Amino acid sequence: MFGAGGGTSSYEEVEQTDLIVLWGSNARNAHPIFFHHVLKAMERGAKVMVVDPRRSETAEFADLWLGIDVGSDIALSNTMAREIIHAELGHAGFIAGGTTGYDEYAASVEDWSLERGEQVTAVPADAIRELAHAYATAENAMICWTLGITEHHNAVDNVLALINLGLLTGHVGRYGSGLNPLRGQNNVQGGGDMGAIPNKLAGFQDIETDPEARAKFEAAWGVEIIPKYGWHLTHMFEAMERGELTACYVIGENPATSEADMDHAVHLLEGLDTLIVQDLVMTKTAEMADVVFPASHASFESEGTVTNSERRVQRVRKALEPPGEARDDIWIIAQLAERLGVGWGDPTPEELWDEMRSLSPMHRLMSWDLIEELGGVQWPCDEEYPQGAKFLHERLWRFDDPEGQGRKAPFSVVIDAPPKDELSEEYPMRLTTGRRLESYNTGVQSGSFSSPLHRGETLDLSPEDASALGVEVGEVVRIVSRRGEIEAPVHVTTALRPGLAFMTFHFPDEVETNKITNEAYDPKSGTSEFKATAIRVEKLAVAAGR
Amino acid sequence: MAADPSAEERAAVDEVLGAPETGWDGGERSARDLRVSRAPEDQRTLLLPVLHALQARVGWISEGGLNYACERLQVPPAEAYGVATFYAMFSVTERSKTVVHVCDDLACRIQGGADLVAEAEAADLPGVQIVASPCLGMCEQAPAIFAQRSGRPEVALGGATMPTIRAAVPEDSTVVCAGGVMAPQAWDEGSRPGLRLLARFGQADPLTLESYRDHGGYRALARSLELGADATIQEVTDAKLLGRGGAAFPTGVKWRAVADQPVTPKYVICNADESEPGTFKDRLIMELDPFSVVEALTIAGFAAGAETGLVYVRGEYPLATERLAEALAQAREAGLLGTDVLGAGFSFDIELRRGAGAYICGEETALFNSIEGKRGEPRNKPPFPVTHGLFGKPTAINNVETLINVLQVLTMGPEAYAALGTEGSTGTRLFCLSGHVERPGVYEHEHGITLGEAIEAAGGVRDGEPLKAVLLGGAAGGFVGPDRLDIRLTFEDARAGGYTLGSGVVMVFDEDTDLVDICLRIARFFRDESCGQCVPCRVGTVRQEEALHRLVAGRTFGSKADELALLGDVAAVMRDASICGLGQTAASAVQSAIATFGLFEDGAAS
């Protein structure tokens, strides 16, 4: 945020803060390692408050749980902001010295009274007020979020809404106060940092708007860089549909099962002229490929680095030779370049790292030796922070030093916009998706071992809905959305309220959940609205003779 | 699906916890519950009281009952199950509505306890389960029984015979606990004037605060409040009061250490989980002078800077529990507990907790865990309780007898108190005389008395029989032979002479006693009571019992000498490597019997 995509705080600060707001995050199940830090904070006496439509496993542990309607996050945030402003609990000094756009923002939330907030989010006004006051009055507080915020058609606005709260209360750029997206994998952060996103070069340097950076890369690489944002994943599928994208080189992704509206995605992949897949295992996407490059395992069959949610770059070391014909990713790519007539030679991971940090200012002083010495280094690591930085945006507090402060943090006016897939008489229930503790994404990594916790895919319903539908636990039902229909057995849980259903997407071989989810996506981030699907549940006809 | 609780089980749990407030802790699901929930406050410390309530009401702890308790307390069911199965008084399988525990431990087994178990089992009483029990702490009235009667009060009865058991069992039984009168000195005009700790026995009404005050009660607290906390600790220190629970730690030092901790809250605890076989003095104090415990613990709280005190009383002591509860209620009513004790601006209250049948919970850190709603397994020390005790907070934990000595210190002054007894063992001491003595009971003697004198004061060996052995200090203590009746019962003499006073147990065995049988019972006791947490004790107590059985049966591995050497090795490992005192002393009595009487040696008397 504010130019760099990463959480602002360290895990250490999570343990030391006074209030942790987990917003759209079931961290206890989906980010169990991160949650250990939360547990330490709780042990120390920190409060935990959870915003989630479900009373998730995390919410069970929370001092306060707010069960909002799916997709009403902006309404909640704006209501909290108005309450904080009216109670005069905002951080006036920080607003004046470290931010811009406050007046416009304050005006935009003015009509979000607690009553209206309750109407839109369905959370009782007193609970909204309690969260707002707790957040604003805490000495240190952080908001942490996950896909409950980002898997919406207005994902970026959702994130901006949370950032607004941090700016309003001065809970950013200080030790123990911050704004933190939690990453689902050990190196999601690293992928973005290295420029594996359509609009940025390594170190979050913009392709379109930063000609200086572009020139630097062009000089180093000896090629012209086209100042044009690339396509993100959803764009790519659209481009396939238009016939503009005809060849695909897929590295370590499995879009054939993980994309929303899956049948459609598979159909588009089938229509490609060329599909190359580089992966550890024979995924469903790999099965469709023209060429498959078997790759080594990034965690123990190759050298390199990973970067976690707290921006900490850590070394990965090779412990095993990859089996059979599997090869290191770098070697495969370099060989491909070789065949394409570009002589990249056989670069070592450290050589590539050093080249990258000659171009990415925030990695400039982060040598492998330093990473080794400190056991991991948090970016930025430059002349100002030669040992790395625990938390980001400390600069915003340098009110008297305009140069050191740099660009002030802008408030953003964000407008409440309900999910695209509207509820109707035909599709009266809201389905949201998420993860379970023992399973991981599409099950490629977690589906092959047996666990007593694996109970396969289910449609989770509230006791009230199950009884209204006349269905029992384990009974298979049909789930119909505007895009398709699937069947799954019923599981009943009090974590859900009437009208709200839940599924995972861990078992695509059993139940292809993403057949019915909505491919509507956020134009700014490209993330699909997995979290909000309108469905109806149908009891199957009783088999004859029963 | 998880088992559901019955209405009765719900009621039992709700009686302890109050009715559930929301759908998230066991109540009806409301519209608000669909949108808001709050983490329940940590109530795990109430797990044991809740399990007691279930056990007492329904007669066992069913899956449904346990689930409901867990839902209310927010304790994971697996953890609660681990706790429920830790204690002998709880059953997680359905069993008879009435369970009669018949003591066949040392003092009872030599006076018909073992036979009574067999007789009661053979009688096949309908709806009654007979369980052979470890020491019930009523050795002076051997043999003893303790009956759990679901839906009705528990009873503990001494001098038990089959008619006693039959009388306690029926639905309409009117049998209640009989108060012990087994402190012969208190009913003897000649010896009564010399009594200090037992002075109120038989004189003051244990059920009324007024009577307690009429007999000198609450003068010590008044003096303590006048002195202030610091000077109170100083007096206890100057009196050189040493702990009577077995470890002989200076009480003043312990209180000072807690008082000096900057951390709050602090706790003071009265350890009334008296379970050492042969010990019953604390029970008599709680039954006959309960207010003294309340007053003394209040002083401890004032001195150490605690606002909360707890009495952890042994589960098998229903009468002591009842009378303590009554004393607490009256003290609270009279403003002797509460937010402003005696108008001195000192806030203090006492909570009463019951054990549930686990010898190990007398170990101070196991007792903390038990109060916290965990399995009663001892913790590693350090850290010590004075810095990290109950709930990890500074805690002063004292035995009942130690605490009531504080009342003496404050009423007579530290100099006068220190003048009693010997240089290294000030004050008087309670001894539990049991077994083959003429007049068993609790005796108070000034430190310095010899073993022989203590036995003589109880009338000597019963029927003038020759003495064979004395078990000194309890099952965790050791045997001494008739040649050592001149040993002095002081801390310093015990230390120098390599014996222990433990909890003041003096159990007398006459010429006809089968010492091998006594050793087997001791070995069985430790094997049964080992909490299983650390290997030396868990394995060692089993190996010790097995080796003894092999020796008895004449089926030794190798020679007898080999087996005795093995017993010695096991003893050394347990002593050196066990986490707590249970394992460290689990072999001491058996080893002393072997060393003193040459048990199992060819031609040795047994």
CB contact under 8 A, A497 and B34: yes
Alpha carbons B237 and B415: distance in angstroms, whole number: 11
Average pLDDT over residues A518-536: 79
Q: Which residues of A touch B (CB under 8 A)?
A: 48, 55, 59-68, 122-124, 127, 473, 494, 497-498
In single-letter form, the type of residue at position B122 comes to A
Give the residue from B537, B522, B528 showing the smallest Cα distance to B577.
Answer: B537
Q: What is the pLDDT at residue B1?
A: 41
Taking CB atoms and an 8 Å cut-off, how many pairs form between chains A and B? 40
Main-chain dihedrals φ then ψ at residue A220, nearest 5 degrees: -70, -35
Whether the per-residue pLDDT at A544 is higher than 50: the answer is no
Residue of B nearest to A118 (CA): B35
Main-chain dihedrals φ then ψ at residue A9, nearest 5 degrees: -115, 165
* Tokens standing for residue A96: 């004046």
> Which one of A63, A68, A494 has the shortest CB-CB distance to B39?
A63
Give the residue from A50, A116, A49, A51 showing the smallest Cα distance to A78.
Answer: A116
Distances (CA, A) of B150 to A456, B54, B95, B541: 44, 9, 10, 33
Alpha carbons B548 and B600: distance in angstroms, whole number: 9
Question: How many angstroms separate the CA of residue B309 from the nearest CA in chain A?
Answer: 24
* Tokens standing for residue B107: 């003092």
Main-chain dihedrals φ then ψ at residue A432, nearest 5 degrees: -125, 160
Alpha carbons A277 and A287: distance in angstroms, whole number: 9
Distances (CA, A) of A219 to A201, A213, A215: 14, 10, 6
Say if residues B157 and B144 touch (Cβ distance below 8 Å).
yes
> Which residues, at least 6 apart from A67, have a Cβ–Cβ distance to it below 8 Å?
A52, A53, A54, A55, A59, A122, A123, A497, B34, B35, B36, B37
3-state helix, strand, coil in chain A (%, to 5): 35, 20, 50
Q: Could you list the mean pLDDT of each consecutive 10-residue stretch along chain B, which spans 606 residues?
A: 85 95 89 93 93 96 96 92 97 95 97 96 94 96 94 92 92 74 87 94 95 97 97 98 93 98 96 97 96 98 98 97 98 96 94 97 97 97 96 97 98 97 96 97 97 97 96 96 96 93 96 96 98 97 98 94 96 97 96 94 58
Please report which helix (H) or strand (E) contains residue B238, including its range.
helix B229-238
Residues in A closer than 8 angstroms to B28, CB to CB, are none
Q: What is the pLDDT at residue A202?
A: 94
Give the residue from A102, A73, A231 showing the smallest Cα distance to A167.
Answer: A102
Q: What is the pLDDT at residue B605?
A: 45
Say if residues A515 and A533 touch (Cβ distance below 8 Å).
no
For B148-161, give the secondary structure using H, E and C. EECCCCCEEECCCC
Q: What is the pLDDT at residue A6?
A: 67
Residues in B closer than 8 angstroms to A66, CB to CB, are 35-36
Give the residue from A304, A331, A328 showing the smallest Cα distance to A316.
Answer: A304
Say if residues B541 and B574 touch (Cβ distance below 8 Å).
yes
State pLDDT tens for residues A263-302.
888 999 999 999 999 999 999 999 999 999 999 998 899 9
CB contact under 8 A, A59 and B37: yes
Cross-strand bridge partners of residue B507: B434, B471
State pLDDT tens for residues A34-50.
999 999 999 999 999 99
Mean pLDDT of chain A: 91
Residues in B closer than 8 angstroms to A497, CB to CB, are 34-35
* DSSP states of B296-329: HHHHHHHHHT-SEEEEEE-TT-HHHHHHHHHHHH
Average pLDDT over residues A151-157: 88
Task: Return the residue in B37, B67, B73, B391 with the most chain A beta carbons within 10 A, the one to mutate for interface testing.
Answer: B37
Please report which helix (H) or strand (E) contains residue B219, including its range.
helix B219-227
Alpha carbons A432 and A501: distance in angstroms, whole number: 6
* DSSP states of A376-406: SEESP-SSSSTT--SSS-GGGG-TT-HHHH-
State pLDDT tens for residues A115-137.
999 999 999 999 999 999 999 99
Residue of A nearest to B40 (CA): A63
What is the rounded (10 degree) CA torsion for B378, B383, B385, B388? -110
Residue of B nearest to A43 (CA): B42
Residue B498: strand, helix, or coil: coil
Cross-strand bridge partners of residue A251: A278
CB contact under 8 A, B39 and A62: yes
Residues in B closer than 8 angstroms to A122, CB to CB, are 35
pTM above 0.90, yes or no: no
Question: How many angstroms separate the CA of residue B559 from the nearest CA in chain A?
Answer: 51
Give the residue from A184, A151, A263, A152 showing the smallest Cα distance to A446.
Answer: A184
Give the residue from B159, B427, B401 showing the smallest Cα distance to B297.
Answer: B401
* Dihedral sign from CA coordinates of A380, A381, A385, A391: positive
b/e sequence A114-151, b meaning 16+ C-beta within 10 Å? bebbbebbbbbbebbbbbbebbbebebbbbbbbbbbbb
Alpha carbons A398 and A94: distance in angstroms, whole number: 10
Alpha carbons B436 and B452: distance in angstroms, whole number: 14
Question: How many angstroms separate the CA of residue A132 from the nearest CA in chain B?
Answer: 15
The pLDDT confidence band at residue A364, using thresholds 50, 70 and 90, is very high
* Tokens standing for residue B485: 């009746």
For A5-42, give the secondary structure using H, E and C. CCCCCCHHHHHHCCEEEEECCCHHHHCHHHHHHHHHHH
Please report which helix (H) or strand (E) contains residue A535, including its range.
strand A533-539
Pick A522 or B489 by higher pLDDT.
B489
CB contact under 8 A, B36 and A122: no
In single-letter form, the type of residue at position B306 comes to A
Helix ranges restricted to H, B149-196:
162-168
Please report which helix (H) or strand (E) contains residue B562, including its range.
helix B560-577
